[in-house]
Chains A and B, each alone.
Chain A
C-alpha cells in the first residue's frame, strides 16, 4: 500500500525575492549551456568552447556584426512592444507578422508610385502615415469583429497574416523590377529617394525602439488608457461594471498595437531592407509574442529578452557557416537554450515538495 503514495507534489510559490529569481534564471542558462556542450560533443565531435566562441563572434565579431545585432534586436523589440498592449488586455494578437507586412506594403506602395512626383519630405510623410494607418487597420479589423460578434482573436489575427502575405506576393508581381525577376528588388537603389537613415544606416530602428520602450512603459503603467487595458485584461466583467466601454478599449488598443507594427514595416522598407518580400517580417511577428510573454509584459525586460534571442539566432548562423554544419544544428542549440529559459519559469512559480522530506521535518 505504502508504495502507492505519491512521491512529490507541486506547490505554488509566493513571490520569490528578485535575487532568487535571477539565480534560477542563471542556473537555467548554465544548464542549457552544459546540455548544448554535451550535444555538440556527441553529435559533431567539436570542442564546445570553440562553438560558443563562434556564437559570440557571429553576434559581435566585427563592428558591422555588432550593429546588425543591435538593429535586429531593435526591430524584434519594437514588434514585441507593439503586441504587448494587446496581450496585456488578453487579446491574443498573433498577427504582428501581417501587420508589419501590410505596413511595409503601404510604405513600398508610396515609394514606388510617388517617386519623382512629389518632394522627398512629402514622400516620407506619406509613407509614415499610410504604413502606420494600414498596420492599425489590419489589427483593428479582428478587434472590431471580436468587440461586435465575439469572434476568436487568435484565429482571426492569424488568418490576417496569410492575407497580408498573399497580398504582398501579388504585388511582388505587379511591381516586379527588373521585369521577369518576380521580385521587387531594391527600391530607388540609385537615388536612395525616400530612404530614411539617421547617422549610419543602423541607427534608425535602434533610436525608435529606445523611445518606444519608454513610451510603452509609461503608457501601460501610468496613463488612464493603460489602466483601462489592465482592467479589461484582468476582468472584462469588472471593466463593464465600472463603466469602461470594453469594445471601444479593445479597438483603440489594437489600433495602437497595429499602428506600431505598421511603423516597423515602414522602418524595414525605408530604413533597413529597401525592398518588399513576403518574408520581410521573417517570423518576428511570432517571436515577438514569445519576447513579450517571457518578459512578463515589462518593456525594459523585453530589451534583454529580444537581445538574447537575436544573439542566439545570429550566433547560430555563424556556427553553421564557420563549421560548415547544417543550420539545423544551430536550431537545435537555440531550441535547447529557449527550452531551459522558458522551463525555468516553472520553478520560479512552483516548488516541488517531496513527501518524505515533509515527514522528516515533522519527525
Chain B
C-alpha cells in the first residue's frame, strides 16, 4: 500500500546550518506518503528534529526545496505549515496551563470564538480516532499523556493531514504508549501521513510502516520496517556494528549504605512530592528508580544531596563501622565536609551540574575551589584533573580551555560523571545519566557506573527507559505519585509489571 503511492511531501537537498561549524542537515532527501506511518530514526544530534522543524515552519532551510502535493512550497512559519495541512507535536508541549483544552486548541485561530461549537468539533475528532479528552478540563489538571493528546487534537483541529510527532513516547508509560499507537493506527487508516521521530528501535518495529534513518545530519536510507532488523537499523544509525546488551555484574559484598525512612517532601506550592518514601541503598549495587516523569524522582535525589528541604522522615548514611549519620537538614557543603561522599549527577547537566560558559578546568574546580586557605584559587589541580578526565574517559574536546557548552551531550556527561567520580564517592546519585546521549556514549556511561558499583559504591540510577533499567539495575524502586509503589528484582521483573506499578500503587489495576 505504500510504495505505489504518490508522496504527499517531497523534501529535496535540504541543508541547514547553525553557525559556521554545525551542519544540522546535509542535503537530506525525504518522502512522506499518505496513509503511512514513517519513523525517522537517528541518534541525538543527527538532525531529525531540525529536519521536521523545517517542514513545520520553525526553521527555514538554507538550501533545498520542499514539495507538498506536487507543488513547490515556501514554509516560513507554522501558520504556512498549517495552511498546507502540516502539524507538529513538539517534545515540549506548547500549552497555556490556566486555559482549558478547548481554549488551547482554538488559540490563535482566526475564526469566530465559539467555545461550544469548538468543543463539539473536538468531541467529534475524539470519537473518530479514539482520543479521550475533556474539552473543558484545564491543562494544569492534566497528566502528561492527556496534555499530549490535547496537542495532537490541536493539530487535527487545524485539519492537518500530515502529522509530525517528536519523540512522543519519551514521557509515556508502556500502557499510555499502547493507547497512543492505537490512535495513530486509526489516523493512518483515515489516510493521514504520520511521522514519528524516535531513537527507540522497538517502537519503530511496533508502529511504523517505513523507517528513514539519519546519521550526523545526512540521510542514510529508508526501507520498509517489515524488511529490516534492529541490528541493521542500529548499524545504519551508528555507522558500525554495536552490541546491544548491557553488562550487569553481580553485586559484591553488599551492605546497607543509605537508609531512607518515611521521607516526605512538599514542593513550594504545597504539593506533596514524596510521601513517606522508605528504602535502603546498599553498597556495590545499582538501585534503579522508575516512574513517570515528575513523580518525585528529582525531589528524592535532591533531598539526599541536601538541596531540598524535607517535611518529615530521615536519611541516614551508614558508616563503615555501622554508625548512622543523619543527612537531613544539612546543606550540600556540610554533607560533603562530614566525609559523606555523595556525588550527584543532576538531570539538568548544563543547568545544574556544570557551568556552560566556563571551560573544563574551571568546571572541575566547582568541587574543589574551596580547598586551601589562600584567598586566591588553585588553578593547577583542577587543570590536572580535567586532563585526567579527558584522557581516561576519552572526552572529545578541542582542549581543556574550551567552554563546556561547545561539547556534545555525551562529552558533557562524561565531564560531569568524571568529576563526580574523581571525588571517590561512596554514593553516586545519577538522574537520567544517558538522556540525550548516542548509543556509544550511553554504553561508556553504563560501564562507568558498573565500575563504580564494583568498587563498592552504592549507585542510585534514575532512568526513563525501562528497557535499560531492567538490563542495568540490580533492584528497581518504582515511584508512583511520590509513593513507593514497590521494589522489584531487576533480573526477574517484567516491563509491563513495572509499567502497571508506575501508574497504580503496587501495580493493581
Give A residues with C-beta under 8 Å from B: 1-2, 4-6, 9, 11-14, 222-228, 230-231, 234-235, 237-238, 240-243, 245, 353, 355, 358-359, 362
24 A–B contact pairs at CB < 8 A? A4-B74, A4-B76, A6-B76, A9-B62, A11-B17, A11-B19, A13-B20, A223-B375, A224-B370, A224-B376, A224-B377, A230-B355, A231-B355, A234-B355, A235-B356, A237-B348, A238-B352, A238-B353, A240-B332, A241-B305, A241-B344, A242-B367, A243-B331, A245-B331
Q: In the bound complex, what is the Cα–Cα distance between A38 and B486 (angstroms)?
A: 78
Q: In the bound complex, what is the Cα–Cα distance between A268 and B210 (angstroms)?
A: 76
Q: In the bound complex, what is the Cα–Cα distance between A2 and B60 (angstroms)?
A: 14
Contacts A230-B358, A234-B356, A243-B336 given; does A11 touch B18 at CB 8 Å: yes
Least CB distance from A236 to B in Å reads 10
Q: Given A5, A11, A13, A243, which contacts B333 in the complex, CB threshold below 8 Å?
A: A243
- Pair A6/B60 contact, Cβ less than 8 Å: yes
Nearest chain A residue, comparing its CB with the CB of B367: A242
Q: Is the interface of A mostly helix, strand, loop or mixed?
A: helix
Least CB distance from A307 to B in Å reads 28
- The interface on chain B, measured as residues whose beta carbon lies within 8 A of the other chain's beta carbons, has a size of 41
Nearest chain B residue, comparing its CB with the CB of A226: B377
Nearest chain B residue, comparing its CB with the CB of A231: B355
Please, which residues of chain A bring their CB within 8 A of the CB of B376?
222-224
Q: In the bound complex, what is the Cα–Cα distance between A69 and B270 (angstroms)?
A: 58
The answer to whether B29 has its CB under 8 Å from any CB of chain A is no
Please, which residues of chain A bring their CB within 8 A of the CB of B369?
224, 227-228
The answer to whether B366 has its CB under 8 Å from any CB of chain A is yes
Nearest chain B residue, comparing its CB with the CB of A240: B307
Contact with A along B336-366 (1 / 0, CB 8 A): 1000000010101011111111100010011
Nearest chain A residue, comparing its CB with the CB of B64: A362
Q: Given B60, B346, B357, which contacts A241 in the complex, CB threshold below 8 Å?
A: B346
Least CB distance from B363 to A in Å reads 9
Nearest chain B residue, comparing its CB with the CB of A237: B352
- Pair B63/A358 contact, Cβ less than 8 Å: yes
The answer to whether B21 has its CB under 8 Å from any CB of chain A is yes
Q: In the bound complex, what is the Cα–Cα distance between A4 and B352 (angstroms)?
A: 43
The answer to whether B73 has its CB under 8 Å from any CB of chain A is yes
Least CB distance from B18 to A in Å reads 7
Contacts A1-B72, A231-B355 given; does A9 touch B332 at CB 8 Å: no
Q: In the bound complex, what is the Cα–Cα distance between A224 and B382 (angstroms)?
A: 14
Please, which residues of chain B bring their CB within 8 A of the CB of A222?
376-377
- Pair B366/A242 contact, Cβ less than 8 Å: yes
- Pair A231/B74 contact, Cβ less than 8 Å: no
Q: In the bound complex, what is the Cα–Cα distance between A225 and B375 (angstroms)?
A: 8
Sample of 17 further A-B pairs with CB below 8 A, known A6-B60, A222-B376, A242-B366: A9-B60, A11-B19, A13-B19, A14-B19, A222-B377, A223-B376, A224-B370, A224-B375, A224-B377, A231-B358, A238-B353, A241-B305, A241-B344, A242-B332, A243-B332, A243-B334, A358-B63
- Pair B375/A231 contact, Cβ less than 8 Å: no
- Pair B354/A238 contact, Cβ less than 8 Å: yes
- Pair B74/A237 contact, Cβ less than 8 Å: no
- Pair A5/B331 contact, Cβ less than 8 Å: no
Q: Which 9 A-B pairs have the closest CB atoms?
A: A243-B333, A243-B332, A234-B355, A237-B352, A4-B74, A242-B366, A241-B352, A222-B376, A12-B19
